[in-house]
C-alpha cells in the first residue's frame, strides 16, 4: 500500500522558536495532502488542505500565519509552526491522497511536538 | 455540518471473543465512511472503507463493517479478537473525491483481556 512518512517523529523546542515538520509520500505522487492535529484523548482535527503548487486551505479557527504550509512538490508538504508556544504542543499527523486509489487517504506516523 | 460519534470511549474484550465498535455519523449527503486503527507509535492504518454498493464491507485483519443508512451507522465487527488488536479505533466520514479532509470520531480504545 501507499506509504507516507513524517520527519521528525519527535521534536522539542523552546517557546518562540519555529519548527518545521515534513510529510512525504514515498511511493506515489500526492497532489493533495492534509494536516491534522490530535490532542490527547481526542480525535484528529483537520487543520488544512495542502495542494501542490497552490496556497493551502485552512479550516476555520486555524491561524494560517502560525501554521505555514508549503506543498512544493508532488511528494512533499511541510508544516512550519511559527513562534511556537506551549499550547501548540500536540501530535501532528499528515495524510496524502493517492490519486489512482481515489477517496483514500494514507496517513503518516505523526510528529510529537513539545514546546517548552 | 458533518460529525461522527463513537459512543464507547473504552471497550474491554476477552481474547477470542467477538467485537463490535459503534459509529454513528451525521452527514448531509451520501457519506464516504472509513475505519482506521492507530497503534502506539504508529500511524493510522486503514481497515476498511465504504463508498457505495454492498453495505457489508470486508477489511484487513478480519474486520468487517456494515453501513446502515436508516440508522446512520457504520459499526465495525470482528468475530474473534486477538491480543494484537488492542489499539485505538477511529471512524471517519468524508465527502468523497479525496479532495477534502476527513471528520473523525473521538476514537474507541480497545483493551484485550487474556
Which tens digits make up the pLDDT trace of A12-40? 999 999 999 999 999 888 888 999 999 88
Q: A interface mutation test: which of B98, B103, B109 has the most A CBs within 10 A?
A: B98
Half-sphere exposure of A5 (CA within 13 A, CB side): 8
Residue in chain B nearest A9 by alpha carbon: B41
The band of A100, judged by pLDDT with boundaries at 50, 70 and 90, is low
pLDDT average, residue stretch A69-97: 94
CB contact under 8 A, A46 and B102: yes
Query: Which residues on chain A are in Cβ contact (under 8 Å) with B44?
Result: 44, 93, 95, 107
Q: Could B36 and A107 be called an inter-chain contact, meaning their C-beta atoms sit closer than 8 Å?
A: yes
Q: What is the pLDDT of residue B40?
A: 80
Mean pLDDT of B82-111: 88
Q: A110 in helix, strand or coil?
A: coil
CA dihedral A22, A89, A35, A30 (to 10 degrees): 20
pLDDT at B96 (0 to 100): 65
Please tell me the distance from the alpha carbon of residue B56 to that of residue B2, in angstroms, as a whole number: 22
CB nearest to A104's CB, from B41, B46, B99: B46
The mean pLDDT value for B95-106 works out to 78
A93 touches A2 (CB < 8 A): no
Query: Considering CB atoms only, which of B41, B98, B101 is closest to A104?
Result: B98
d(CA B96, CA A78): 24
The grid cell for B87 is 489499539
In the DSSP assignment, the letter for residue A83 is S
Q: Report the relative pairing of strands A10-13 and A111-115 from DSSP bridges.
A: parallel
**CA distance to partner chain B, nearest, from residue A82 (Å):** 23
Res B51 pLDDT > 90: no
Per-residue confidence (pLDDT) for residue B109, from 0 to 100: 95
B77 phi and psi angles, rounded to 5 deg: -135, 155
Q: Most distant CA pair in chain A: distance in Å? A: 42
Q: What is the pLDDT of residue A52?
A: 85
The DSSP letter of residue B17 is S
- The DSSP result for B56-106, as a single string, is EEE-GGG-EEEEEGGGTEEEEEESS--GGG-EEEEEEEE-STTSS--EE--
Is pLDDT of A95 > 80? Answer: yes
Comparing A2-16, A41-55, A56-70, the range with the smallest average pLDDT is: A41-55
Task: State the Cα angle at B55 between B73 and A3, rounded to 5°.
Answer: 85
CB B89 within 8 A of CB B37: yes
Amino acid at each position: 500500500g501507499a506509504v507516507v512518512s513524517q520527519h521528525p517523529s519527535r521534536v522539542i523546542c523552546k517557546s518562540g522558536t519555529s519548527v518545521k515538520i515534513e510529510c512525504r509520500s514515498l511511493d506515489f505522487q500526492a497532489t493533495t495532502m492534509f494536516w491534522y492535529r490530535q490532542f490527547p484523548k481526542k480525535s484528529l482535527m483537520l487543520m488544512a488542505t495542502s495542494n501542490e503548487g497552490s496556497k493551502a486551505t485552512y479550516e476555520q479557527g486555524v491561524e494560517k500565519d502560525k501554521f505555514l504550509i508549503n506543498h512544493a512538490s508532488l511528494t512533499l508538504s511541510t508544516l512550519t509552526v511559527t513562534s511556537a508556544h506551549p499550547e501548540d504542543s500536540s501530535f501532528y499527523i499528515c495524510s496524502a491522497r493517492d490519486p489512482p486509489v481515489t477517496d483514500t487517504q494514507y496517513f503518516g506516523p505523526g510528529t510529537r511536538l513539545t514546546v517548552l | 455540518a458533518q460529525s461522527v460519534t463513537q459512543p464507547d470511549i473504552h471497550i474491554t474484550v476477552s481474547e477470542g471473543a467477538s467485537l463490535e465498535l459503534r459509529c454513528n455519523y451525521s452527514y448531509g449527503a451520501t457519506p464516504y465512511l472509513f475505519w482506521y486503527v492507530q497503534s502506539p507509535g504508529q500511524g493510522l492504518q486503514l481497515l476498511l472503507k465504504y463508498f457505495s454498493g454492498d453495505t457489508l464491507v470486508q477489511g484487513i485483519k478480519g474486520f468487517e463493517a456494515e453501513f446502515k443508512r436508516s440508522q446512520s451507522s457504520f459499526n465495525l465487527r470482528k468475530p474473534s479478537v486477538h491480543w494484537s488488536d488492542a489499539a485505538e479505533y477511529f471512524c471517519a466520514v468524508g465527502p468523497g473525491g479525496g479532495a477534502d479532509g476527513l471528520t473523525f470520531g473521538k476514537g474507541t480504545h480497545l483493551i484485550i483481556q487474556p
